[in-house]
Every structure is written in C-alpha cells, then in structure tokens.
C-alpha cells in the first residue's frame, strides 16, 4: 500500500491505472477509521482492480471550529488498518494541498433540489456545499468507476447520488456509480462513528439509548393507531428522557425526497443527538 500526499502524484498514479485499464474504487473518509469505514473499503477492494481511500478532514464542511479542531486524527493507525484490509493507495493531503486559499475561503453553492435544506443541511448551514466541494474534487482527481459511501450519513449519500445523476455536475464524472453501504454497528447497536472516540465508557453506555430507541420505534410504527407524527414525537421524548442525551432533531422523511412524509412506506427516520458535547447521528428505515 502506498500513501500519497500530493495531487500531482495522485494524478500520475491514476493515469497509470487508467492506461492499464484498471477499474478504480474510491472510498472518501475523514480518517479515525473503524469497522464502518472498513466495510466500505473491503467492498471497494472486492469490486475493483485498485482501491483508493482518501483520508482528509475537510475544513470546508465544518461550520463549527471546535468540532473541526477536536475531530480525531490518527493517520498511522488508519494506514495500518487500510493495509490489512487490502487498500492499494491512501490519499492523505494537507488542506493547503487540497485547496487554494481562495477555495478554502469561498462558499461554494450547489443546487441540490432542496435535499440540502432539511435536517443536517438546516442545522449545519454550508455543510453539504463543503462535502460536495471535496467529493467532487476527489472524483475529478481519482476518476473512480465506483465510489462507496455509508448509509450512516444517509442525507449525504442522497445528495451525492443527486450530484452524480441529476445536478449540473451530472455527466462530469463519466459512468461513475455511487454505492451505498449499510450502517455498521457495535454488537450493542451503537452506530460506529469516529466521534465515538470522544465518548467516555459511561457516555457510550448512555449513547446506546439512541439506537435502542430507533429499533424500538419499528415496533411502535406497527401498533394500532400509530402515525408518523406520533412515532416521531415518541422517539424524541424517549431519547430526551435519558439523562445525558439531547435530541437536536428526529425526522421521519421519504427516503428519496427527504421531505416529511405521513406514511411509513419508504420512510427513514434520521436523528441527531448530543451526548454531552459530542454530536451523534443515526437513522432507521421503516419499510423497505
Ligand atoms: P467519515 O470519515 O465519517 O466522513 O465517513 C466516511 C464514510 O464512511 C462515509 O461514507 C460514511 O457514511 C461511512 N461510514 C461512517 N460510519 C459508518 C458506519 N458505522 N457504517 C457504515 N458506513 C459508515
């Protein structure tokens, strides 16, 4: 496995892969890797001739400076994990290598047909513009055949699908296929997240209340007289009743439009919860 830190080196390696007609899989990450990331990488390794993983804490997608500063970073451990699971190339640039000063400070605005105006987009203004700025840059540099994203960040996955299939950027990336991969959880149910590293053991126990409530809500949705509004509120109340947890939002929306829905068909519930200062996200699909 080779670690690359410059765009120039990356592009010359990509060119060589293309010349040899190798198919390329890309897994974009922000590092502090865990089994969730590993599941994406394993799939990319299995389905392509070469697998690139990017490890880059993208400053332009953070609207909270403290969150950016405290985001866990451990490239040595990340590289060890990636080596064992068969990644071929790790692209780990500095912010200065990735962006010019102007790019770092300009707010890029993309049109995502409203997908970026709800939930995470509403709570973190500019977040998805930053995500798309970095992901489109990575697609341009790596020219992957397939790129892998987790359903853990369901809204991000929907926006990237939209960017590749329907937005003004569609067509820019050839036949690129976006592959969504299921959420990997601890045996306890807690969704794996790099931010879990910031939780104490006691906070981790507390955070279990999030996934436990989401799973429980699948049963509530089947009770007589259940409505989306009632289940949504019950999830919020149940999590808020757990000491140490505070719901930022819980919204049951349509899986495609991400707009509020009054049926459980094709619905997904997306939650963001503060566990102390740590902001955790999770989601659950209700029907199919
Ligand atoms: P991040 O490093 O948090 O930006 O995540 C990089 C990629 O890994 C994103 O596509 C995430 O959705 C995905 N990912 C993060 N956590 C998980 C998880 N628990 N299960 C599956 N995919 C995940």
pLDDT digit string, tens, across residues 82-133? 999 999 999 999 999 999 998 888 777 888 889 999 999 999 999 999 999 9
Tell me the chain's radius of gyration from C-alpha atoms: 19
CB 16: neighbour CB atoms within 10 A?
11
- Mean pLDDT lowest among 32-46, 163-177, 268-282: 163-177
- pLDDT tens digits along 161-213: 999 988 777 788 889 999 999 999 999 999 999 999 999 999 999 999 999 99
How far, in Å, CA of 110 to CA of 17, rounded? 31
Choosing among 3.30.1300.10, 3.30.1600.10, 3.40.50.300, 3.40.50.720, the CATH entry for 194-282 is 3.30.1300.10
How far, in Å, CA of 159 to CA of 166, rounded? 10
Largest CA distance in the chain: 61
Task: Look at residue 179 in the predicted model and tell me its pLDDT.
Answer: 98
Residues 6+ positions from 56 with CB-CB distance below 8 Å:
28, 29, 30, 31, 91, 92, 93, 95, 98, 134
The domain locations on the chain are 2-181, 194-282
Angle at 192 between CA 68 and CA 276, to 5 degrees: 55
37 assigned to active site = yes
Average pLDDT over every residue of 231-242: 98
**Ligand 1 atom at minimal distance to the Cα of residue 149:** 10
Ligand 1 binding site (Cβ under 6 Å of any ligand atom): 29-30, 36-37, 39-40, 149-150, 152-153, 181, 183-184, 191-194
Residues 6+ positions from 237 with CB-CB distance below 8 Å:
none
Superfamily for domain range 2-181:
HUPs (3.40.50.620)
Residue to substitute in 27, 33, 35, 36 for testing ligand 1 pocket (most ligand atoms within 8 angstroms of CB): 36
Residue nearest to atom 22 of ligand 1 (CA): 150
Task: Look at residue 27 in the predicted model and tell me its pLDDT.
Answer: 98
Cα–Cα nearest to 177, from 133, 132, 145: 145
The length of the chain is: 288
Mean pLDDT of the chain: 95
- Does residue 129 contact residue 105 with C-beta atoms inside 8 Å? no
Instruction: Assign 280 to helix, strand or coil.
Output: strand
Task: Look at residue 288 in the predicted model and tell me its pLDDT.
Answer: 44
Is the pLDDT assigned to residue 6 strictly greater than 70? Answer: yes
Task: Look at residue 170 in the predicted model and tell me its pLDDT.
Answer: 78
**Ligand 1 atom at minimal distance to the Cα of residue 150:** 12
């Amino acid at each position: 496995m080779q670690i690359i830190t410059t765009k120039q080196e990356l592009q010359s390696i990509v060119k060589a892969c293309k010349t040899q007609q190798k198919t390329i899989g890309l897994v974009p990450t922000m590092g502090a890797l865990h089994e969730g990331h590993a599941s994406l990488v394993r799939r990319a390794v299995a389905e392509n001739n070469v697998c690139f993983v990017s490890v880059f804490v993208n400053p332009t997608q953070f609207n909270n400076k403290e969150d950016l500063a405290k985001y866990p970073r451990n490239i040595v451990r990340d590289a060890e994990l990636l080596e064992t699971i068969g990644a071929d190339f790790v692209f780990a640039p500095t912010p200065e290598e990735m962006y010019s000063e102007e790019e770092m400070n300009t707010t890029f605005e993309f049109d995502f047909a409203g997908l970026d105006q709800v939930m995470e987009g509403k709570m973190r203004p500019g977040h998805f513009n930053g995500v798309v700025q970095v992901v489109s840059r990575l697609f341009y540099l790596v020219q992957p055949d397939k790129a892998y994203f987790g359903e853990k960040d369901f809204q991000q996955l929907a926006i990237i699908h939209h960017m590749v299939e329907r937005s003004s950027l569609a067509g820019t990336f050839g036949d690129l296929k976006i592959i969504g991969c299921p959420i990997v959880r601890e045996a306890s149910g807690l969704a794996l997240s790099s931010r879990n590293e910031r939780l104490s053991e006691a906070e981790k126990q507390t955070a279990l209340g999030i996934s436990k409530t989401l799973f429980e809500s699948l049963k509530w949705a089947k009770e007589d007289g259940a409505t989306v509004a009632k289940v949504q509120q019950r999830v919020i109340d149940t999590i808020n009743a757990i000491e140490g947890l505070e719901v930022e939002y819980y919204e049951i929306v349509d899986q495609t439009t991400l707009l509020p829905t009054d049926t459980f068909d094709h619905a997904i519930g997306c939650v963001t919860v503060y566990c102390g200062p740590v902001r955790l996200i999770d989601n659950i699909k209700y029907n199919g």
